[in-house]
Amino acid sequence: MGLSQQAPHFANAPHFAIAIDGPAASGKSTIAKHLARRLGLVMVNSGAMYRAVTWKVLELGINPDDHTAVVQALQAMNIECGTAGNFSTIAIDGRLLDEELRGTEVNLAVSRVAAVPEVRSLLVQLQRDYLQHTSLVMEGRDICSVVFPDTPFKIYVDASEEVRAARRSAEGVTDSVAARDKADSNRTTAPLIVADGAIVLDNSDHTVASAVEAALDILRSQGLSHEDSGDA
């Protein structure tokens, strides 16, 4: 799918967005994937876009704290966002990225690259472009507050730090969840917040199935009347 460069506005678009934010390993992607399947929507992982730019910066040998070099590299990158089935895809300079985005090096650097305003403004534009093509569930850190502030469908997924760290390590991933949360919540541009209109879903004690039901209840309370296929 080629994405247009036009910025959509929610109220004028034929499509709608479900926006999900929350800290690392709170269960955003898991819930978003299930919602996308149940509601027949595309699931867009905005974190993968920040991770892809970070992966490329590291691949080029650039220090993620070197703002000027990061912006120069960003301007030279060909970033292609698309879909495969019900999922977003991301390619940089013709290379489709997936597994390499979850590596330890990327985990350690991504919050620093994501704090660069030029990186954010370009990726926010690409995220909004998806809505020209499809209705979607998008998850990240600023989807409710910055990317789609006008959507009525907003959820903030949270879970205790212990639960989140345990769930991440159960996946066999080395990830400094607490350090990323601190950086993401304290940055100047688009920090992680509970946005106006977002309802908090505490995922600490849920199973995946009950968390998805809780998310659907929230969306219905926000006016979603989209058909639920009932598929788990």
Q: Which residues bind ligand CDP (CB under 6 A)?
A: 22, 24-30, 46-47, 50-51, 110-111, 114, 140-143, 167, 171, 180, 184, 203, 206-208, 211
Q: Which two tokens stand for residue 48?
A: 């993968």
Q: Looking at the DSSP assignment, which residues form a beta bridge with residue 77?
A: none
The residue (of 39 and 114) whose beta carbon lies closer to ligand CDP is: 114
Least Å from the CB of residue 203 to ligand CDP: 5
Least Å from the CB of residue 56 to ligand CDP: 14
Q: Which parts of 147-202 fold into alpha helices (H)?
A: 161-170, 177-186
Beta carbons of 107 and 58 less than 8 angstroms apart: no
Q: Is the dihedral of CA 158, 160, 162, 166 positive or negative?
A: negative
The residue (of 39 and 101) whose beta carbon lies closer to ligand CDP is: 101
The residue (of 39 and 192) whose beta carbon lies closer to ligand CDP is: 192
Q: 190: closest CA among 159, 149, 130?
A: 149
Q: 21: closest CA among 202, 195, 226?
A: 195
Least Å from the CB of residue 225 to ligand CDP: 25
Least Å from the CB of residue 28 to ligand CDP: 4
Q: 3-class DSSP state for residue 36?
A: helix
CA–CA distance, 140 with 177 (Å, rounded to integer): 14
The residue (of 26 and 135) whose beta carbon lies closer to ligand CDP is: 26
CA–CA distance, 134 with 115 (Å, rounded to integer): 28
Q: 3-class DSSP state for residue 80?
A: strand
Least Å from the CB of residue 198 to ligand CDP: 14
The residue (of 14 and 193) whose beta carbon lies closer to ligand CDP is: 193
Least Å from the CB of residue 103 to ligand CDP: 12
The residue (of 29 and 135) whose beta carbon lies closer to ligand CDP is: 29
